[in-house]
């Protein structure tokens, strides 16, 4: 399936076959592709929490107002941002670059993020959003459906997954074998309303 077709066919599906099991190879492929998603300064600040224990899934579902896709999906990914990834041995993000590039860009990481908590958070949210789309498109290509989610109690889920300090949950992506068709698209705005040339 080409990218254009995956974008056209990807829809938010909320009913999955709860008996379907994704293979380790499929799971690894999905995550490997998501890990190719771009991040500013290549700091790779996304973290993918795979909620697999049945009891934990049930607790996460309770914190998600009972939404069935939390337990029905073959794979539930909680996308978490490490807000301090930028300061954790940043030279490793550029270890394969030429020395001149390393000497320029590694110090620039700290100069850009240090003391700018809102920038750190904004960047992390962007990174996880891009990674979520990569996950969903890769899933579609592999014959899976998906559902991005933010309908849950963030604090409660954070406690359930033992969210570390300086980390923030951004969203869920539920992935599995859909058992119902997605509703027709609710209504796309015209391009003339959403595309702006040069200035508003």
Dist. CA 116–CA 135, nearest whole Å: 29
Dist. CA 28–CA 75, nearest whole Å: 11
Distances (CA, A) of 120 to 79, 115, 116, 124: 16, 9, 6, 6
Number of domains in the chain: 1
Average pLDDT for residues 89-107, to the nearest whole number? 97
Size of the chain in residues:
200
Distances (CA, A) of 112 to 40, 43, 87, 94, 109: 11, 12, 11, 16, 5
**DSSP labels for 30-60?**
HHHHHTTS--GGG---EEEEE---HHHHHHH
**Residues paired with 153 in a beta bridge:** none
Answer whether residue 193 is part of any domain: no
Residue 191: the pLDDT is 96
Average pLDDT for residues 130-153, to the nearest whole number? 97
Tens of pLDDT, residues 49-77: 999 999 999 999 999 999 999 999 999 99
Residue 147: the pLDDT is 96
Q: Token pair of 178, please? A: 């859909």
What confidence tier does 15 reach under pLDDT thresholds 50, 70, 90?
Answer: very high
Residue 43: the pLDDT is 98
Helix/strand/coil for 54: helix
**Residues paired with 195 in a beta bridge:** none
Answer whether residue 101 is part of any domain: yes
Average per-residue pLDDT for the chain: 96
What confidence tier does 1 reach under pLDDT thresholds 50, 70, 90?
Answer: confident
Answer whether residue 169 is part of any domain: yes
Task: Choose between 56 and 185: higher pLDDT.
Answer: 56
Answer whether residue 91 is part of any domain: yes
What confidence tier does 183 reach under pLDDT thresholds 50, 70, 90?
Answer: confident
Answer whether residue 40 is part of any domain: yes
- pLDDT of 184 over the 90 cut: no
> Of 86-100, 132-146, 175-189, which gets the smallest average pLDDT?
175-189
Answer whether residue 144 is part of any domain: yes
List the one residue out of 179, 173, 143 whose CA is nearest residue 19. 179
Answer whether residue 114 is part of any domain: yes
Dist. CA 127–CA 77, nearest whole Å: 15
- pLDDT of 182 over the 90 cut: no
Residue 70: the pLDDT is 98
Phi, psi of 42 (to 5 degrees): 55, 35
What's the start-to-end Cα distance of the chain, in Å? 37
Distances (CA, A) of 127 to 65, 99, 121, 167: 26, 26, 10, 13
Dist. CA 198–CA 200, nearest whole Å: 7
Residue 181: the pLDDT is 84
Q: Which domain holds residue 72?
A: 3-180
Average pLDDT for residues 142-160, to the nearest whole number? 97
pTM for this one? 0.95
Answer whether residue 79 is part of any domain: yes
Q: What is the CATH number of the domain that holds 153?
A: 3.40.109.10
């Amino acid at each position: 399936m080409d990218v254009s077709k995956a974008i056209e066919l990807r829809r938010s599906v909320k009913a999955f076959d709860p008996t379907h099991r994704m293979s380790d190879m499929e799971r690894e492929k999905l995550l490997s592709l998501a890990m190719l998603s771009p991040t500013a300064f290549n700091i790779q600040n996304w973290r993918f929490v795979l909620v697999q224990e049945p009891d934990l899934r049930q607790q996460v579902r309770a914190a998600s107002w009972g939404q069935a896709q939390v337990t029905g999906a073959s794979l539930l990914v909680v996308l978490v941002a490490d807000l301090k990834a930028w300061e954790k041995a940043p030279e490793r993000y550029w270890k394969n670059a030429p020395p001149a590039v390393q000497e320029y860009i590694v110090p620039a990481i700290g100069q850009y993020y240090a003391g700018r908590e809102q920038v750190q958070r904004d960047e992390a949210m962007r990174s996880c959003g891009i990674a979520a789309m990569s996950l969903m498109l890769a899933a579609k290509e592999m014959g899976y459906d998906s559902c991005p989610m933010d309908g849950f109690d963030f604090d409660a889920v954070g406690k359930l997954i033992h969210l570390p300090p300086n980390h923030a949950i951004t969203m869920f992506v539920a992935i599995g074998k859909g058992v119902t068709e997605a509703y027709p698209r609710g209504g796309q705005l015209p391009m003339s309303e959403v595309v702006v040339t040069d200035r508003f």
